[in-house]
Amino acid sequence: MFMFRQRLFTLVFIALIAYPDCGNAEKTSKKHHLNQASNQSTQSSSTKAPSKLPELGARPYGQRPEVMAQAADIAERRSLPPDWTADMLGQARHLPSVARLMLPAPRGQKKDWGVYRGRFIDPIRIGAGLKFWRTNAALLARAEQVYGVSPELVVGIIGVETIYGRQTGSFRVMDALATLAFDFPAGHPRAAARQAFFRDELEQFLSLMHRSGGEPFSVRGSYAGAIGMPQFMPSSIAKHAVDFDDDGKIDLTNSVADVIGSVANYFKAYGWTSGVPTHFEVQFDASTLDLDALLAPDILPTFSALSIEKLGARLTEAGKAYPGKLALIELQMGAQPAQYVVGTDNFYTITRYNWSSYYAMAVIELGQAVAKEVRRE
């Protein structure tokens, strides 16, 4: 077991230090994972983040006694050298832009699936996805065989996250995670939970880097601290990254094989079921519709096909035959009437990468659009 863990940290080190000079990965969540990181992944793939590293006037955390006081606690919890931990935290810098990027849209501002969709389902991503699929068809097929995860899902995720590696992030991950761990914006509605999450990710990142002998300040990623082509958070790297090309190291930036295998392994771990649809079309019976009851569980599959129909949802024949639990998914369209689909357990699994039904639909539709182009060839 010791040798396995030692090898794991060595592999993770390679994954962390190997990064390109281009782009940004503005997942993350919500991934990821981002799944815990709220809506970071959707923001990270669609919003250009500043590339100043560090920002002008950014204050080092070594000047913050309350942060330095926590270094010893972190070192003890993670079995890290106290001096090294204090040195790393002391060099990290507070990035005000990172905190600003984490704030949600103003209250009362309606979401718009049409606008959101347009950011991701476009000719650039579809064309890049087609090239990615064509080049890596054998790897995608092997990942499906090993993990039971469809090529459409893997291609959709990587395309939404980073346009297949074009935008992987330019923030120093150490600075981004420290900022969100110690200065998460108080105006966020879930500030306490989010700050606790990022403190855990910061500690995980420090653990991975120390045990691998890596240099924390060499690693670049999104403003939320997500890393590499799939935008994995440090905890996801530790849990789900795999050496899919069997070259003795994990590289989530330069090894497409490792990226494909790691994304597929992530979804297998979160319960993806091969051959199960992600969602079904739905209509409503106005005479029996109880929309509040249907939306109450949010995106968590709760209803049987029979019970969801009793509340006024009218399923397709395939939906009626589905044996698992279902959830009504609302996609707001700005000032226009909302659109609805009925999500399965596989739909919910996609939201474990990022807690957003909009994100999940973008991943699904991008994957489908690329698959359609592949079939045309």
Residue 320 lies in a domain: yes
Q: What is the model's pLDDT at position 212?
A: 83
Do residues 187 and 324 share a domain? no
Q: What is the model's pLDDT at position 61?
A: 94
Do residues 54 and 178 share a domain? yes
Question: What sign for the dihedral angle of Cα 107, 112, 116, 118?
Answer: negative
First to last CA, the chain: 47
pLDDT digits (tens, 9 = 90+) for 98-122: 999 998 877 777 899 999 999 999 9
Do residues 170 and 92 share a domain? yes
Do residues 171 and 292 share a domain? no
Q: What is the model's pLDDT at position 25?
A: 31
Q: What is the model's pLDDT at position 326?
A: 98
Mean pLDDT of 226-230: 97
Q: Which domain holds residue 330?
A: 279-343
Mean pLDDT of 225-243: 97
We report the CATH number of the domain holding residue 213 as: 1.10.8.350
8 pLDDT more than 70: no
285 CB-contact burial (10 Å; exposed 0-12 / middle 13-18 / buried 19+)? exposed
Q: Of 225, 251, 269, which residue sits at a domain end?
A: 269
Distance, in Å, from the CA atom of 106 to the CA atom of 234, rounded to the nearest integer, reads 29
Q: What is the model's pLDDT at position 24?
A: 35
8-17, 36-45, 77-86, 230-239 — which is least confidently predicted? 36-45
Q: What is the model's pLDDT at position 271?
A: 97
- What are the residue numbers of the active site? 161
Residue 297 lies in a domain: yes
Distance, in Å, from the CA atom of 223 to the CA atom of 198, rounded to the nearest integer, reads 12
Q: Of 228, 247, 269, which residue sits at a domain end?
A: 269
pLDDT band at residue 3 under the 50/70/90 scheme: very low
Do residues 70 and 177 share a domain? yes
* Average pLDDT of the chain to the nearest whole number: 87
- Number of domains, the chain: 2
The more confidently predicted of residues 137 and 251 is 137
CA atoms within 13 A on the CB side of 258: 26
Q: What is the model's pLDDT at position 57?
A: 54
2 CB-contact burial (10 Å; exposed 0-12 / middle 13-18 / buried 19+)? exposed
Per-residue burial over 41-52, b if 16 or more Cβ lie within 10 Å, else e, is bbbbbeeebbee
Do residues 177 and 323 share a domain? no
Distance, in Å, from the CA atom of 88 to the CA atom of 86, rounded to the nearest integer, reads 6
Residue 222 lies in a domain: yes
Q: What is the model's pLDDT at position 323?
A: 97
Residue 100 lies in a domain: yes
Residue 13 lies in a domain: yes
229 pLDDT more than 80: yes
Residue 215 lies in a domain: yes
Nearest to 164 by CA among 259, 250, 243, 233: 259
Do residues 185 and 312 share a domain? no
Residue 372 lies in a domain: no
In this prediction the pTM is 0.86
Do residues 263 and 302 share a domain? no
Do residues 253 and 311 share a domain? no
Q: What is the model's pLDDT at position 55?
A: 59
Share of the chain above pLDDT 90, in %: 79
Pairing type for strands 279-284 and 220-221 reads unpaired
Do residues 296 and 219 share a domain? no
Do residues 9 and 82 share a domain? yes
The more confidently predicted of residues 104 and 369 is 369
Query: Which residues 6+ apart lie within 8 Å of 31 measured at CB?
Result: 37, 40, 41, 226, 230, 231, 232, 233, 236, 266, 353, 354
Do residues 185 and 298 share a domain? no
Q: Of 227, 246, 269, which residue sits at a domain end?
A: 269
Residue 78 lies in a domain: yes
